[in-house]
Chains A and B, each alone.
Chain A
Amino acid sequence: MAEAARQIRIQDLKLVHHARAGHIGGDFSAIDILTTLYGAVLDISPDRVADPERDRFILSKGHVAGALYTTLAAFGFLPVAELATFLQPLSALNGHPNRTKVAGVEANTGPLGHGLPVAVGHALSAKLDASPRRTYVLVGDGELQEGSNWEAMMAASQHRLDRLTVIVDRNRLQQGATVKETNDLDPLHDKATAFGFAVAEVDGHDHGALLDVLAQVPVQPGRPTFVIAHTHKGHPISFMSDNVAWHHKVPGEAEYHQALTELEDKP
Chain B
Amino acid sequence: MTPPPSVADRPRFDCRDAYVATLSELAHEDHRIVGVVNDSVGSSKLTGFRSSFPDRLINVGIAEQDMVGVAAGLANGGRIPFVSAASCFLTARALEQIKADVAYSNHNVKLCGMSPGLAYGELGPTHHSIEDIAWLRAIDNLTVIVPADPVETSAALRWAAQVEGPVFVRVSRMSVPQVNADDYTFTPGRAVTLRDGGDVTLIANGTVLWRALVAAEQLEAEGISARVLSMPTVKPLDVDAVVAAARETAGIVTVEESTIAGGLGGAVAETVVQHHPARVTILGIPGFAPTGSAAFLLDRYGMSPEGIADAARSLARHG
Contacts and interface: CB of A to CB of B under 8 A. Distances in A.
B92 interface: no
A125 B76 contact: yes
Question: Dominant SS at the B interface?
Answer: helix
Interface in B92-117: 96-97, 100-101, 104-106
A100 B105 contact: yes
Given A154-B61, A155-B61, A121 B69 contact: yes
A119 B73 contact: yes
B60 A125 contact: no
B88 interface: no
Interface in B67-106: 68-79, 81, 96-97, 100-101, 104-106
Contacts of B69: 114, 116-118, 120-121, 148, 152
Contact of A120 (B70, B75, B78, B97): B70
Nearest to B106: A100
Contacts of A148: 63, 65-66, 69, 97
A122 B73 contact: yes
A121 B77 contact: yes
Given A111-B96, A118-B76, A148-B65, A124 B106 contact: no
Contacts of A126: 77
Contacts of A154: 61, 63, 66
B73 A123 contact: yes
B66 A108 contact: no
B106 A99 contact: yes
Nearest to A106: B76
A159 B70 CA distance: 12
Interface residues of B, number: 29
B58 interface: yes
Contact of A152 (B66, B74, B76): B66
A120 B66 contact: yes
B55 interface: yes
B289 to A, nearest CB: 29
Given A100-B106, A107-B105, A152-B66, A118 B72 contact: yes
B56 interface: yes
Contacts of A110: 100
Interface of B: 34, 55-56, 58, 60-61, 63, 65-66, 68-79, 81, 96-97, 100-101, 104-106
Given A52-B77, A117-B65, A118-B101, 19 more contacts: A100-B106, A107-B101, A108-B101, A108-B104, A114-B69, A117-B68, A117-B72, A117-B101, A118-B70, A119-B73, A121-B69, A121-B71, A121-B77, A122-B76, A124-B73, A125-B74, A148-B97, A152-B69, A154-B61
6 contacts: A108-B100, A110-B100, A148-B65, A152-B63, A154-B61, A159-B58
